[in-house]
Amino acid sequence: MSLSNSKHHTVLQSQEFKKLVSNRWTFSLVLTLIILFVYIGFLLLVAFNKELLGSKINTHLTLAIPVGIGIIILAWVLTGIYVYWANNTYDKAVQDIKSKLS
């Protein structure tokens, strides 16, 4: 085993690296579950309470349109939250780990 492989193995087995992987997985899972909960809730609402979504807000607009737009905006916001977290927390931790390989 070369020196470089030894360093890589050490980093991969370190608690810092394992914590980084765990944090990324947890953060991604939470955001995924939020959007799935909202989207599946919307589908269940469509399936079981069409009248609510079909209720008119004004002459040409039903409640379904702003709710659907809200879901799309929520997806953008959650994506922005992930990008912000990745750029400010995750990437710094990755750079710290990479610096240990040098």
Main-chain phi, psi angles of 17, to 5 degrees: -65, -45
| Domain parsing of the chain, residue ranges | 15-92
Average pLDDT over residues 46-71: 93
Instruction: Report pLDDT for 4.
Output: 62
Whether the Cβ atoms of residue 85 and residue 45 lie closer than 8 Å to each other? no
Average pLDDT over residues 70-75: 97
Q: Return mean pLDDT, the chain.
A: 89
Whether the Cβ atoms of residue 62 and residue 56 lie closer than 8 Å to each other? yes
Residue 88: is its pLDDT beyond 70? yes
Among 88, 89, 86, 52, which residue's Cα sits nearest to residue 67?
Answer: 52
Q: In angstroms, rounded to a whole number, what is the distance separating the alpha carbons of residues 68 and 53?
A: 10
